[in-house]
């Protein structure tokens, strides 16, 4: 069984509860750096109740718990729970996450997490098998309601939750947490300013509304900082009357230009939170045509969409490379260019990469009805970024990035509306696992079971979670 595990109380366990909550509340406004300072945090694997259709939420939460920095963030949220309780109407998603965090057993280090082993009887290690300490479904339901806040309103919150897509839920959950963390940072900044006795400027009362606007995980026009009137660089939410791509410059080019991270005529000034610093990357879509300046669309992403329709794709690396493949566009009419329809080439590249890289394996085709692709795509515990995936001039840290697999989500069944989601999560230890033990845990709602790594790697996953090394 090994030495007794060390329970992780709270980041500031020696302080009074109120002081610890206040410190955690302030740390939430500090972004990723505050989480790094907290050090590694472990959490005991635990099941989650599901009397109906919340498996999609259970699997997403379990996969996120496989990410060490997300665990540190959740521990901070739990510690600040008392203050979040008092502001539940302002921070409903964070409050729901704090309630779930209270049901978990955090450890001071991942090395202190008890290995999940079939040799350990449930009476000694009760999270093996059906867990009587499973996270209550009421808490999961509350989180779903708050994350899908436009879908479940008023009386709709009394009806049973319908089966949802785990991929869509992940987006909504992270977006909601990001927005509220920015609002929390605004509140902390205002409190600090008031504490210093400085007079607030007129109109500061609208800061929360402004924060909500900027918080969405996309680039808004107000967030752009250009280099002058010639800056007509296009972002994903731009709309022009002809639906054409805007070009980087109003000047006519003599030949095709190579677009790099340095030559893009725009810089981005965005407010970040611990969520965006963890999960958000930037992707560039470039269009080049002879005699016209290049066109570049920069768009942030939380999840990389990986199409699997090409029959030749049999590895994850090949699937990502296919996303970056250059395609030919006919009848392209660039704005500010020749004005004549021409042939152009379109390509995708990563401009920056996140700490946690989430990949969505697009297994469903929708043509009147959904059709599932159950093809096998090989993937490993390590993923190294290839030079051809990155935009020229991107950082050397991103070009040399290597990731480690920490979680997978699988979809069982042939319909996205009626299937079932489960998660495989790596609860790693600093020591090699003993014979019969496994670093990997299969989490199927209330059921918690060890699973061999080779079985994880021979699964047909719906989503993959990789953590930067």
Rounded distance, CA 409 to CA 165, Å?
A: 11
pLDDT score of 336: 60
Q: Count Cβ atoms below 10 Å from residue 362 Cβ, excluding itself.
A: 15
Domain boundaries, the chain: 17-197+206-215, 220-269+281-302+311-352
pLDDT score of 427: 82
pLDDT score of 433: 53
Q: Is the pTM of this model over 0.85?
A: no
Listing DSSP states for 99-129 in one string gives: HHHTTS-EESSGGGSPPB-TTS-TTTSTTSE
Helices (H), 196-303: 207-215, 274-279
Residue 215 near residue 306, CB atoms below 8 Å: no
If you count DSSP H runs as helices and E runs as strands, how many of each does the chain have, helices first? 13, 20
pLDDT score of 295: 82
Listing DSSP states for 393-424 in one string gives: T--HHHHT-EEEEEEEEEEESS-TTT-EEEEE
Rounded distance, CA 461 to CA 409, Å?
A: 6
For the chain, how big is the Rg over CA atoms in Å? 24
Query: What are the angstrom distances between the C-alpha of 193 and each of 18, 66, 86, 348?
Result: 21, 37, 21, 44
The phi-psi region of residue 7 (left if phi > 0; otherwise alpha if psi is between -120 and 50; otherwise beta) is beta
pLDDT tens digit at each of 469 positions of the chain:
444 444 454 443 334 367 888 888 888 888 777 766 666 678 888 899 988 889 999 999 999 999 989 999 999 999 888 888 888 888 999 999 999 999 988 877 665 565 555 544 433 333 444 455 688 888 998 899 888 876 665 555 555 677 788 999 999 999 999 999 999 888 888 877 776 665 444 444 444 433 333 333 333 323 322 323 333 333 333 333 333 333 333 333 323 344 444 444 344 446 889 999 999 999 998 888 887 777 888 889 999 999 888 888 999 999 999 988 888 888 787 766 556 778 888 889 999 999 999 999 988 876 666 678 888 999 999 999 998 999 888 899 999 999 999 999 999 987 777 789 999 999 865 455 555 556 899 999 999 998 999 999 999 999 999 999 9
The C-alpha angle with vertex 333 and arms to 327 and 339, in degrees rounded to 5, equals 145
Query: What are the angstrom distances between the C-alpha of 103 and each of 54, 96, 138?
Result: 17, 11, 12
pLDDT score of 335: 67
């Amino acid at each position: 069984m090994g030495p007794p595990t060390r329970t992780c109380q709270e980041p500031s366990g020696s302080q009074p509860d109120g002081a610890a909550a206040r410190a955690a509340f302030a740390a939430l406004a500090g972004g990723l750096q505050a989480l790094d300072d907290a050090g590694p945090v472990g959490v005991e694997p635990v099941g989650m109740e599901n009397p109906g259709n919340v498996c999609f939420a259970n699997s997403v939460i379990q996969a996120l718990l496989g990410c060490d920095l997300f665990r540190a963030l959740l521990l901070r949220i739990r510690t600040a729970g008392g203050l979040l309780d008092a502001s539940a109407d302002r921070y409903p998603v964070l409050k729901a996450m704090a309630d779930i965090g209270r049901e978990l057993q955090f450890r001071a280090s991942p090395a202190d997490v008890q290995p999940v082993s079939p040799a350990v009887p449930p009476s000694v290690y009760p999270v093996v098998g059906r867990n009587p300490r499973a996270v209550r479904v009421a808490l999961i339901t509350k989180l779903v309601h708050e994350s899908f806040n436009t879908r479940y309103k008023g009386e709709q919150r009394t009806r049973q939750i319908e089966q949802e897509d785990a991929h869509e839920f992940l987006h909504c959950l992270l977006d909601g947490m990001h927005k509220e963390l920015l609002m929390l940072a605004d509140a902390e900044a205002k409190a600090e300013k008031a504490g210093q006795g400085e007079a607030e400027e007129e109109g500061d009362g609208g800061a929360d509304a402004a924060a909500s606007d900027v918080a969405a995980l996309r680039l808004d026009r107000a967030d752009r900082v250009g280099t002058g009137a010639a800056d007509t660089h296009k972002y994903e939410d731009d709309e022009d009357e002809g639906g054409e791509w805007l070009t980087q410059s109003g000047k006519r080019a003599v030949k095709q230009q190579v677009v790099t991270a340095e030559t893009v005529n725009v810089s981005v000034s965005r407010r970040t939170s611990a969520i965006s610093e963890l999960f958000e990357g930037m992707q560039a879509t470039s269009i080049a045509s002879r005699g016209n300046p290049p066109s570049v669309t920069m768009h942030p992403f939380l999840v990389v969409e990986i199409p699997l329709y090409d029959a030749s794709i049999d590895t994850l690396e090949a699937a990502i490379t296919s996303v970056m493949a250059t395609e030919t566009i006919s009848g392209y009419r660039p704005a500010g260019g020749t004005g004549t329809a021409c042939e152009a080439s379109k390509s995708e590249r990563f401009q920056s990469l996140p700490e946690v890289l989430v990949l969505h394996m697009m297994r469903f085709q929708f043509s009147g009805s959904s059709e599932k692709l159950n093809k096998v795509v090989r993937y490993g515990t390590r993923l190294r970024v290839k030079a051809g995936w990155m935009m020229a001039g991107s950082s050397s840290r991103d070009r040399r990035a290597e990731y480690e697999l920490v979680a997978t989500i699988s979809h069982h069944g042939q319909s996205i509306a009626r299937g079932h989601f489960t998660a495989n999560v790596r609860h790693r230890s600093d020591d090699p696992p003993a014979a019969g033990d496994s670093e990997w845990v299969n989490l199927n709602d209330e059921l918690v079971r060890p699973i061999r790594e080779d079985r994880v790697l021979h699964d047909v996953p719906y989503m993959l979670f990789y953590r930067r090394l």
